[in-house]
Every structure is written in C-alpha cells, then in structure tokens.
Amino acid sequence: MYKILKKRILAPDICLMEVSAPRVASSAQPGQFLIVRVGEKGERIPLTICDFDPVAGSVTIVTQRVGASSRKIFALEEGESFNDFAGPLGVPSEFIHEREEILKEKKFLFIAGGLGTAPVYPQVKYLHGKGAHVEVIIGAKTRDLVIMEEEMKQVAARVHICTDDGSYGFKGLVTARLKELLDGGARFDQAVAIGPMIMMKFVTLTARKYNLPLIVSLNTLMVDGTGMCGACRVTVGGKIRFACVDGPEFDAYQVDFDEAMRRQSMYKLQEKDADHKCKIGLGNGQ
C-alpha cells in the first residue's frame, strides 16, 4: 500500500498528492509516468509524475476529477493509500542524456496547457538544476484554473501566464503568447509542449513557422500503460508507435495529431457510462 502523505487542492477539481513510494522516487526521471490503482478491483490509471524526492522517498502526482476513476482518486485523503503505484514507466526526456556544460548553454521554452503544467514542472526543475535558461508559458481557461504558478517561478527564468478570458496574465491562447514572444525576438534551442491534444496540435503548427524544435507528450492517449491494450497507438514519422512504451514524448513534427485525436475519442461513451454509474452509486451511498 502507498500512503498519501499530503493532499492539496490546486484548483476546482484538481488536487496534488504526495505519496510514499521510495522505490519509484529513487529511479524516476523527468518525462516518465506511473500507474495507480484505487482498490483491489480498481481501474489502472496512468498519471505523469509531477515531482519526486529520492531522499524523502515520495512521488507527487496531480489529478483532475473528470470521470469515475479520477473521482475515486480525488476522494482519497491524507493517511489513506493507493493499492498500486507502479513505475516509473515510459522513456525519460531526451535532455537528461545531455552533458551539464551543454545544457548550460541552451535556452528552453515549455508550453503547458491546463493539467499539463504538472508534468512540465519536473522537467523545468531538472533543467534549472543544470543551469539551463528555461521559460514557461502556462495556459488556462480562467485564473482559478492556473496551477503551480509559484512552484514554477522558483525554477524558471520567466513564467508567462495566459488565460482565455483575460482574468489573469496575457489574454488569449498559449499560441498567441508563443507567437508574440518569437516575433519579439526571443530565441530558444528547444521547446516542449504538454497539454490537451488540440493545444499541442496548434502549438506545433505555430512553432513550425519559426523552425522551432518541438517535443510533445502524448500521455493523454494512454490507457493500460504497458503497450498491451493498443489504445495509445499513434503514427509518428509514418510508423506506428505506442505512447506508453515508445514515449510519451515525441518529435511534434512527426506526430499525426488528427489520428491521435480520433483515437483519444474512442472511449468517450464508455467513460460517460462509467461516470454515470459512479454518480448513481455515490447517490445511493455505495
């Protein structure tokens, strides 16, 4: 059992949990994910790693309450436990293989959409520790949904906040802020985008015009997390890849986003049905 050490509400329906998992914490790397399970018969849920502390033996995850299984996770409190907390899984971010003296000379830009801010954080934290210059664009629909701003400011040279409604920071989409930065003369050696699939698609279309190297994370496609279910199949560079075992990070310009978005919508009916049953069960006190 994996005990929840801390729980904090970041925004409406979004919570952060620090979980005791020494073996995962000792081997985790930026860009990886894990599988969690609530209850002996619970669904396997892939979640990207938000942070990890090998000394304390803890791993941090962020969950948004959107469906049946995420509601069960969200309902857990400090002192309670996950049945399974397996990982780290997936291929770590490519930059961890670069020498520190090389990273010190590079400038990185991360574009985080909504919950994508959570997996962006450990990457920015790692690069900050290596002396790289890192800037972050965080996008959200409204001010209340901006998460981890203060944590990000501790490890990034600049944090650019964007809200769709203009209630905080730059008014507009992350693509508009990206274009404004690049048109203003900002130059980056590498960009990384993590967030909703549609956001990553349009970030890719925007970045392509500036020949900006771009990596995207297809973590939202994952279901089983081991490659056995095949749900996260995606075409990358004309070849079939699995987001969970070959990724989740890929060269953005090689990804077939239209195919990925079609695949992402495959289980909408099942998710809706499961959520409906979950709400009925909650209403009956089950």
183-238 per-position pLDDT tens digit: 999 999 999 999 999 999 999 999 999 999 999 999 888 877 777 777 888 899 99
109 and 23, same domain (yes or no): no
Query: Does the reported pTM lie above 0.75?
Result: yes
- What CATH number should be reported for the domain holding residue 155? 3.40.50.80
pLDDT for 229: 77
For residue 45, is pLDDT > 80?
yes
Q: Which of 21-30, 36-45, 106-115, 178-187 has the lowest mean pLDDT?
A: 36-45
pLDDT at 279 over 60: no
- Residue 77 sits in a domain whose CATH number is 2.40.30.10
pLDDT in tens, 81-96: 999 998 999 999 999 9
Same domain? 77 vs 144:
no
Shared domain check, 76 and 143: no
* pLDDT at residue 2 is higher than 90: yes
Question: Euclidean distance between the first and final Cα of the chain, in Å?
Answer: 23
Percent of the chain having pLDDT more than 70?
A: 92
Span 231-250, average pLDDT: 90
Parent domain of 60: 2-89
Per-residue pLDDT at 267 = 56
Q: Is residue 242 situated within a structural domain?
A: no
Q: Does 104 lie in the same domain as 76?
A: no
Query: pLDDT at residue 65 above 90?
Result: no
Answer with the one of 184, 217, 250 that is the final residue of a domain: 217
Domain end position, chosen among 89, 104, 123: 89
- Domain assignment of residue 123, yes or no: yes
